[in-house]
Amino acid sequence: MLLRLTAHLPDAPSKVQILHRPGSWQLGRASDCNVQVDHVSVSRRHARLDDDGDKLTITDLGSKNGLRVQGKPVAQAILGPEGWFSIGDVFCQLESLPIADWDKQQHIDAQRRTLSQTLAQRLRSKDHLDIIAELLKGFVELAECRRGFLLLGLRPEQLHVRACYAISPDDITDHRFAGSRSAVDRALRERRAIYMDSRQDQAWLSAQASVVAGGLRSLVCLPLLNEGELLGAVYADTDDSSRRFTDLDAELMSALVDQATTALVAQQIEQQLLQMESWLNVGSQSAQRQTQALHWQAPHS
């Protein structure tokens, strides 16, 4: 029997680590910890998880922000194989994992890596419209989300919605989308990926009226960067409450976005955007040009 430890990092993909029982594992921000949890609220050596084959014990190692079990500060506690605890602001989940289930998950992960490579290959030797369509379709598929859109522009203040998948520009401008817009604005302003799901970001998501109204449970937004310059962003969301983003998701989606950005730059996308006034409706069939692209009011940096 194995243990799956999932650290739900705020605004970031969850870190998943498989632990072979029995054993002892140190959790913290330091690179030499058995389970490295890179978050500002986590101490370099925050806690130790011990499994003697009979019981699981979590012990605080004198951390700055403490250890909590069932919401209460503790110095040490006995955990069940299906339990939660928090180190600093990071919630951690323990799950028993039969070896057969782990083998199945490894097979699924291998299939997703193959899909990622296939999607990246589709970006080669295509014109800018094909690249835009393939990027958005591939991103939504890799993210295992329901809908998405792509922003592109010559400068951050000139971003436009250039492609949509299962959503329209009218939906994006609706007041019910305001919460999701704020996540996109953060990705643009901070020049970094934003990952949110109902498990790790419940407080933020529940505070966004648009997210609640839309039934959204998970969303992701990655900026498109070329040598530090912002070209745009790609966004996807879903109402699937079981969807959570992991470090594997981050690896695959980042690779796809990087490949697409390189391809767009090679196609001299700046010149193409000057002539591109429409947006693409990307679906299961070929992408269809629609009316004039929607301007996105980007946040000030």
CA nearest 92: which of 114, 72, 111, 67? 67
Tens of pLDDT, residue by residue over 90-139, are 999 999 999 999 999 999 999 999 999 998 888 876 778 888 999 999 99
Residue 266: the pLDDT is 84
185 and 245 co-located in one domain: yes
Residues 6+ apart with CB under 8 A from 253: 139, 142, 143, 193, 220, 222
- Residue 154 is predicted with a pLDDT of 75
Single pTM value for the model: 0.81
> Looking at residue 208, what is its pLDDT?
43
Over the chain, what is the mean pLDDT? 86
Domain end call among 44, 69, 97: 97
- CA dist 112 → 108, 115, 143, 223 (Å): 6, 5, 10, 22
How do strand 23-28 and strand 35-36 relate by DSSP bridges? Answer: parallel
Residue 10 burial (CB count, 10 A): 16
Q: Give the tokens for residue 213.
A: 């109204």
At 273 the pLDDT is 64
* pLDDT computed for residue 213 by the predictor: 42
220, 122 Cβ separation under 8 angstroms:
no
> Coil, strand or helix: which one is 114?
helix
Domain boundaries, position 131: 104-271
Residue 191 is classified by DSSP as: T
Q: For residue 109, report the phi and psi dihedrals to the nearest 5 degrees.
A: -60, -40
The stretches in the chain having pLDDT less than 70 are 125, 179, 198-216, 269-278, 283-295, 297-301
- Asked whether residue 91 falls in the same domain as residue 110, the answer is no
Q: How far is CA 104 from each of CA 95, 108, 140, rounded to the nearest angstrom? A: 16, 6, 23
Q: Are 14 and 38 contained in the same domain?
A: yes
Does residue 283 lie in a domain region?
A: no
What total of structural domains would you count in the chain?
2
Helix axes 99-122, 128-143, angle to 10 degrees: 170
Q: Is there a single domain that holds both residue 154 and residue 34?
A: no
Per-residue pLDDT reduced to its tens digit, 274-299: 666 667 788 655 555 555 556 676 55
Same domain, 119 and 173: yes
Query: Taking a C-beta distance cutoff of 8 angstroms, is the pair 173, 294 a contact?
Result: yes
Q: Are residues 208 and 125 in the same domain?
A: yes
